Structure 1
Amino acid sequence: MASLLLTILGFLLTPLSATATVICSNGGNYTANSAYQSNLAVLAATLPINASTLNQTRIYFYATATAGGAPDVVYALALCRGDMVNATACRDCVAASFQDAQQRCPYDRGATVYMDDDAEHECHLSYSSDNLLSPANITENGTLFQEWNQQIIPGDAAIVAAGVRDLLNGTALDAAIRPMHFATAFMDSISTSGATTTLYSLAQCTPDLFSDNCQACLQRLVGMVNATMSVRLGGRIVVLRCNIRFEANLFYKGQPMRRITPSSIAPVPAPADKNHGTKPWVVAISVVAPVVLVAFCFIVYCHRLRRRGRKGKGGLRRKRGGDELWEIETELSEFSVFDFQQILQATNNFSEENKLGEGGFGPVYKGYFPEGMEKAVKRLASQSGQGFTEFKNEVELIAKLQHRNLVRLLGCCSQGEEKILVYEYLPNKSLDLFIFGEDGKSLMDWNRRLTIVEGIAEGLLYLHKHSRLRVIHRDLKPSNILLDNEMNPKISDFGLAKIFSPNNTEGDTTRVVGTYGYMAPEYSSLGIFSIKSDVFSFGVLVLEILSGQRNSGSRRYGDFINLTGYAWQLWDEGRWFEVVEESLLPTCQSEEIVRCINIALLCVQEKAANRPTMLDVIAMLSNKDMILGEPKHPAYFNLRVGNEEASSTSTQWCSVNDVTISVITPR
């Protein structure tokens, strides 16, 4: 790989430049209008698009490509920085990199470009006539690019250098174990001069590397940060497959993924007293301390044995001062009971910077816990209507549910008026941001939407049939569907869920709670809920996923004020395609789309008895040869614009979808 021999470019700049650095290869030239030039033009047109579109199940902002055959074959690789949330920015960055490479390296058979514009873009591109994509060269570091700030971090050089190494090593390890091989972090108070210096870091590998290869690539770069460079006020090292960077300013989008604490520096021991030798109290402590430690461990061990003996006795108990503590069954090894101070520290005192969103029962924050763990912290609002009963219900329920399409509850905290739930952190947040937001829609092709529909159906089937107790969610909507790293859906927010024995399928209540637009008619008007009321919500959700439009809101749908009635009318008139998101048409998956609309309309039929179960839905989704029934008109079909009956209830059904509302219904 002659064209990929290490070429070290060191720069001492203040501040770091926001330009494109282009490194031309020494692999020879091609001629104008040659086959090689044509192949390179093909890659210049396709690679920017490939790097900014869905790769199987999610967007990686990364792509490789090959064009042509020997001796004119061209290999290329493009990687955008992992904090990019805009596919257009990645595409434009890679396209601009091709232009810079061809302008500055005219007729060179290879070039590497490092594009850096902190406000908009950061990416790097490499193409060559040598096979830089070969499995044998997958961990080849390629052309090296370094850039360092000439200013020095104030303080003791040894402590500063050790802190920077801790920061980079921790960030590199995080990147290696994450699915996208991208991680950010920060470290503060590494200075010993009285001033506080906060450093922000980033590490990234190409997503196709195995974790050990990613870690090896990044560790090589960290090892190159010598004593001189580790005290700089910023710097970065970039190679083909990985890169690291740290700065004294927040140079990436979003908040750091974790806080890294510098390793402690052992204090210099005081000189021994030459006249008296070793002090007696030193000898006493050195003897007593191990004994105390062993005794403490024995007490803890006995306490755990006693707790194991309380099989099936997990529950609520009171402690002094009226605060509640939650004891969960010991079989739930991953469940933790947090102290309120731990929650405050993890969320930076519930700061706005850590806030992820606001739900019907209170705000959700991102929490940074020990060992670099990121978790979602749900702080239940005292006025939300979810009291300790709902809190206890959600903890009891979710802690025992185990399914890939359900969000995992990792712990809780109850202290005074504070009731807090700690969940797994899902970086892609909720489904509504993708199907209703203009930026998110571009990432949701048909296969992605179908996978999400199937995942939600699998999660509901587990709740209705396969969990230890029958569970009815009662608040299924896009904002309660969270998306993991791979864009897989996870049903969340079980505060309104009801639990039944496996033989029961229906219940009633005088307190109707849920979200208008997703509530089945028998539930909203009579307080009757069942697995079929969840099926109704699922049908509404599927129509929203297919159309990219909310079921109810300020928009009118033809003669209707809701999406369900409009969709059924279009279906009945054979104009189903008018309800489908525009970006999905024209498509070769028309039969699958029609089938999903049919299933959704079966789910939102007015009479609960006519709706399928989730087992039926799974069968209809998975068996393409299964003949589907013709749906009857949906619930709220009479809610038309100008209809007198609609006018008396339209305020009720035009409520904002994300608002959870309680209604006391007399019976």
Structure 2
Amino acid sequence: MVTQRASFYLCLLVILITQATAEPDDQYPVCLSRGGDYAPNSTYHTNLNTVLSRLTSNTQIDYGFYNSSYGQDSDRVYATGLCRGDVSRHTCLTCLNNSSFFLLKNCPHQKEAVGFGGYDKCILHYADQSMFSYQDSSFRFYFWEETNVTNWDQYSYVLNQLLSRLRVKAATSNSNLNRKFAAGNATVPTPSSQTIYAVVQCYPDLTAAECNDCLIGAFSEIPKNCNNRSGCGVTILSCNFRYENSSFYEPTPDTITLQFSPQGSPSPTPSITSNSSESTYHGKSSKSQAVNAKYVVAPILFFVGLLILICIYLRVRKPTKHFESETMVDDEIKLVVSSQFDFDTIRVATNNFSDANKLGQGGFGPVYRGHSSINKK
């Protein structure tokens, strides 16, 4: 009983720790006030839960873009989910489900919210108005590396060349793939040969012109928010881009690779402008933070794994131990019944330990055959 109770509490501890560690710290919920609030348990609240649960239910979609709506009139809820073009379907659905949980937890009353999972692996957006077409929105979301580059002029020149190529490719992507996504890398011609990795993406329902325009607007944020940063990302509701000096995406056969020969001075950085107004939300993506997180999470995962193994062992071992306990009880009962004979009774039954009744020699002495008063051996 004690073992069962200990096993139960140990398993409960494993579940709690697993849930705590399963909440990734790279989830960024953004609660927007422009749509107003909804009341708990209201029709809008019910419709919101319904549309989020239905959002990823279409098993025919394998290109990482989901959209759905539910309800009537002012209680109608619209939702979209977009996953980065290189992530698997399983990773995509997991990311969107986590974002849904975090949004509802952190934005419990706002009618509109945006969730970013895995920095940019997925984007979940719901609102009380349609968003199934291009939006020249003032919404901006940034994240960046804490480290700076030594020669930003040269770095930004290569970066802009790479982003320009990726923009064209994403805007004119093969419509059969239902993706407007492009990834690539370029090497900065410095003694250290630093490589820049980047991805750009638009919502698949945008036209080529809308995708191109949206990405240009996103690139225009670089001088204001990404200057000297070795990595940075900008998201507008209809498109986004990200660059780093280490690989963060899964390469594909159509991944672009650019090579630049060393040059005395880089060409002027292209000037990209946008007339959109600005409402900003800032986040950070720091490699030092990622490294620290790795060393913190690794022992926790090891500890959780050890607890899970112990829990499994106890659950598997419990029936065997229970069965053995029952067997041991039966043996003890039989032993007690068979030992109710005094010495005189045994002496008479063996004819005073006659050699004629001796059966052999055991580990504890000679063994005799005896007859009781009721003629039982």
TM-score, normalised by the number of residues in structure 1: 0.34
Pair 1:69-2:72 in alignment = yes
Alignment partner of 1:47 out of 43, 55, 75 = 55
Structure 2 residues without counterparts, runs of 5 or longer: 1-23, 267-377
Shift in Å at residue 211 of structure 1?
A: 1.0
- Secondary structure (helix, strand or coil) at the match of 1:221 reads helix
- Secondary structure (helix, strand or coil) at the match of 1:110 reads strand
Tell me, in whole angstroms, the C-alpha distance in 2 between the residues paired with 1:206 and 1:29.
27
Tell me, in whole angstroms, the C-alpha distance in 2 between the residues paired with 1:22 and 1:227.
23
Tell me, in whole angstroms, the C-alpha distance in 2 between the residues paired with 1:122 and 1:220.
21
Tell me, in whole angstroms, the C-alpha distance in 2 between the residues paired with 1:216 and 1:39.
33
Name the residue aligned to 1:159.
154
Alignment partner of 1:94 out of 90, 93, 96 = 96
Alignment partner of 1:222 out of 214, 219, 222 = 219
Alignment partner of 1:24 out of 14, 28, 31 = 31
Higher helix share: 2
Q: If you compute each CA radius of gyration, which structure gives the higher value, 1 or 2?
A: 2
Tell me, in whole angstroms, the C-alpha distance in 2 between the residues paired with 1:143 and 1:95.
23
Shift in Å at residue 31 of structure 1?
A: 1.3
Alignment of 1:193-204 (within 5 A): 194-204=191-201
Structure 1 residues without counterparts, runs of 5 or longer: 1-16, 269-667
Tell me, in whole angstroms, the C-alpha distance in 2 between the residues paired with 1:100 and 1:142.
23
Shift in Å at residue 243 of structure 1?
A: 0.6
Alignment of 1:83-162 (within 5 A): 83-85=86-88, 87-116=89-118, 122-133=121-132, 135=133, 138-141=134-137, 143-155=139-151, 157-162=152-157
Alignment partner of 2:208 out of 208, 211, 216 = 211
Shift in Å at residue 234 of structure 1?
A: 0.5
8 Å contact kept, 2:182–2:201: yes
8 Å contact kept, 1:144–1:238: yes
- Secondary structure (helix, strand or coil) at the match of 1:102 reads helix
Name the residue aligned to 2:43.
35
Tell me, in whole angstroms, the C-alpha distance in 1 between the residues paired with 2:189 and 2:233.
19
Percent sequence identity over matched residues? Answer: 25
8 Å contact kept, 1:185–1:201: yes
Tell me, in whole angstroms, the C-alpha distance in 1 between the residues paired with 2:81 and 2:224.
32
Tell me, in whole angstroms, the C-alpha distance in 1 between the residues paired with 2:194 and 2:264.
21
- Structure 1 pair 123/267, CA: closer, same or farther in 2 (3 Å)? closer
- Structure 1 pair 267/183, CA: closer, same or farther in 2 (3 Å)? closer
Pair 1:240-2:230 in alignment = no
Alignment of 1:542-553 (within 5 A): none
Write the letter of the residue equivalent to 2:255. M
Write the letter of the residue equivalent to 1:199. I
Tell me, in whole angstroms, the C-alpha distance in 1 between the residues paired with 2:197 and 2:265.
27
1:237-274 residue CA offsets vs partner (Å, 9 max, x unmatched): 01211110011111011257011245986769xxxxxx
- Secondary structure (helix, strand or coil) at the match of 1:139 reads coil
Tell me, in whole angstroms, the C-alpha distance in 1 between the residues paired with 2:265 and 2:46.
65
Shift in Å at residue 91 of structure 1?
A: 1.5
Question: For this pair of structures, how many residues does the alignment match?
Answer: 237
Tell me, in whole angstroms, the C-alpha distance in 2 between the residues paired with 1:75 and 1:263.
49
- Secondary structure (helix, strand or coil) at the match of 2:117 reads strand
Alignment of 1:399-418 (within 5 A): none
- Secondary structure (helix, strand or coil) at the match of 1:75 reads strand
Write the letter of the residue equivalent to 1:159. Q
Tell me, in whole angstroms, the C-alpha distance in 1 between the residues paired with 2:64 and 2:192.
38
1:203-254 residue CA offsets vs partner (Å, 9 max, x unmatched): 0111111111111111111122117724311110012111100111110112
8 Å contact kept, 1:93–1:122: yes
8 Å contact kept, 2:154–2:265: no
Shift in Å at residue 131 of structure 1?
A: 2.3
- Secondary structure (helix, strand or coil) at the match of 1:54 reads coil
1:539-584 residue CA offsets vs partner (Å, 9 max, x unmatched): xxxxxxxxxxxxxxxxxxxxxxxxxxxxxxxxxxxxxxxxxxxxxx
- Secondary structure (helix, strand or coil) at the match of 1:36 reads helix
Pair 1:252-2:249 in alignment = yes
Tell me, in whole angstroms, the C-alpha distance in 2 between the residues paired with 1:264 and 1:251.
26
8 Å contact kept, 2:214–2:239: yes
Tell me, in whole angstroms, the C-alpha distance in 1 between the residues paired with 2:37 and 2:224.
40
Tell me, in whole angstroms, the C-alpha distance in 2 between the residues paired with 1:267 and 1:171.
24
Shift in Å at residue 160 of structure 1?
A: 1.9
8 Å contact kept, 1:233–1:248: yes
- Secondary structure (helix, strand or coil) at the match of 1:91 reads helix
8 Å contact kept, 2:155–2:188: no
Tell me, in whole angstroms, the C-alpha distance in 2 between the residues paired with 1:216 and 1:93.
28
- Structure 1 pair 227/78, CA: closer, same or farther in 2 (3 Å)? closer
8 Å contact kept, 1:35–1:72: yes
Write the letter of the residue equivalent to 1:40. L
| Coordinate RMSD, CA, aligned | 2.3
Pair 1:172-2:184 in alignment = no
